[in-house]
């Protein structure tokens, strides 16, 4: 079973980041990327806990465990080529509350700064 990354399909930043990730995946990476609003995304989210369903976040389902916010975002590094993957332990050392504060700040302003998709 492949791991799955769910991103906001209407957000330009999320769309750009998903394209960035797809182009830089390690050749053996088992990662699918879907929009949260897609049929696949909605089906997956229905299986999450109520807390995660309301998170309004990026989601990563890795080895049947669901990660949200910064925990999901930095784990994506593990699917990329080695020169991106080496950043994982460095970023992981930043305490979770601090990482999530930065994540939430970016998340709240991403559509205002980067705009939304219209297609």
Helices (H), the chain: 12-24, 39-45, 50-53, 69-75, 82-85, 88-92, 96-114
pLDDT score recorded for residue 53: 84
Query: 18 has which bridge partners?
Result: none
Q: 115: phi > 0 → left, psi -120 to 50 → alpha, else beta; which?
A: left
- Cα 23 to Cα 18, 88, 116: the distances in Å are 9, 18, 22
Give mean pLDDT, residues 111-116: 88
Please provide the average confidence, as pLDDT, over all residues in the chain. 93
pLDDT score recorded for residue 1: 65
pTM: 0.91
Give mean pLDDT, residues 47-57: 86
Residue 6 pLDDT grade (very low, low, confident, very high; cuts 50, 70, 90): very high
């Amino acid at each position: 079973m492949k791991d799955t990354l769910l991103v906001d399909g209407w957000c330009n930043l999320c769309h750009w980041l998903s394209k960035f990730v797809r182009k830089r995946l390690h050749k053996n990476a088992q990662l699918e990327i879907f929009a949260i609003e897609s049929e696949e995304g909605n089906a997956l989210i229905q299986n999450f806990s109520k807390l995660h369903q309301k998170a309004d976040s990026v989601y990563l389902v890795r080895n049947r465990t669901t990660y949200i916010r910064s925990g999901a975002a930095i784990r994506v590094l593990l699917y990329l080529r080695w020169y991106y993957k080496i950043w994982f332990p460095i970023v992981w050392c930043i305490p979770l509350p601090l990482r999530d504060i930065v994540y939430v700040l970016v998340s709240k302003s991403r559509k205002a700064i980067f705009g939304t998709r219209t297609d």
